[in-house]
Homo-oligomer: A and B are copies of this chain.
Amino acid sequence: MADYIYPVARLIECFRRLPGVGSKSAARMAFGVLEMSPEDAEEFRAAIKGVKEDVRRCSVCCDLCDSDKCAVCSDPGRDQSVICVVEDSRTVSALERSHEFHGTYHVLGGVISPMNGITPDRLNVKELITRLNGTVNEVIIATNPNIEGETTAVYLSKLIRPLGVKVTRLAYGVPVGADLEFADSETLARALEGRREF
């Protein structure tokens, strides 16, 4: 980046620190900022400040929110007896978009990953257990279908089942709209195993 003038090189470096951004897209975005109106650039700066200062964690489910309790936890229409446990806020958004789930969530803030030094005490597990005070009937574990997500799911189910709460997890299978020809064998095996009658 030595061939860009300092202010541009500095902004490119900031973009590069974001997840999934390489040097070419960082440069493209930095030039985008350069060509933006001063008002848009000021709005961008204010928005960065906004997420750092105004975003907190919901005191119940640990999801991101801008007040004490998130919109789902404060909604009297949501079924408080079912908790869907997810890794992060983005999974909450994805599940909300499906309009299928009417219970509440619990955001772990990650998954157990000894390789990266993430042990259960660094996740919002204690907060989840506190919520299982007799009014909760079911905990749906919706961690990602990979090794770390599975490890976390097994850990949580062993922790929660003795408390007399039903523990379930999302169904494995072929994704809707997928081409079976290109499905991996593990997914196909799980889809066969979990087959249902018409």
In the complex, identify which listed stretch (A9-17, A118-126, A138-146, A154-162) lies at the interface while the others stay far away: A9-17
* Nearest-Cβ distance from residue A171 to partner chain B, whole angstroms: 23
A44 within 8 A of B: yes
* Residues A20 and B14 in contact, CB atoms below 8 Å apart: no
* Residues B97 and A3 in contact, CB atoms below 8 Å apart: yes
Q: Which residues of chain A from 2 to 36 have any CB-CB distance to chain B below 8 Å in the complex?
A: 3-8, 10-11, 13-14, 17-21, 25, 27-34, 36
- Per the bound structure, the CA–CA distance linking A3 and B72 in Å amounts to 11
Q: How many copies does the complex hold?
A: 2
Contacts A21-B29, A28-B20; is A55 near B7 (CB within 8 Å)? yes
* Residues A29 and B33 in contact, CB atoms below 8 Å apart: no
Q: Which residue of B lies closest to A93 (CB)?
A: B3
* Residues A45 and B49 in contact, CB atoms below 8 Å apart: yes
Q: Give me the interface of A with B, judged by CB distance under 8 Å.
A: 3-8, 10-11, 13-14, 17-21, 25, 27-34, 36, 38, 40-41, 43-45, 47-52, 54-55, 64-66, 70-71, 88-90, 93, 96-97
Contacts A3-B97, A55-B8, A93-B3; is A32 near B47 (CB within 8 Å)? no
* Residues B3 and A17 in contact, CB atoms below 8 Å apart: no
Q: Which of B5, B13, B20 contacts A64 (CB 8 A)?
A: B5
- Per the bound structure, the CA–CA distance linking A21 and B25 in Å amounts to 9
* Nearest-Cβ distance from residue A65 to partner chain B, whole angstroms: 6
* Residues B41 and A48 in contact, CB atoms below 8 Å apart: yes
Q: Which residue of B lies closest to A8 (CB)?
A: B51
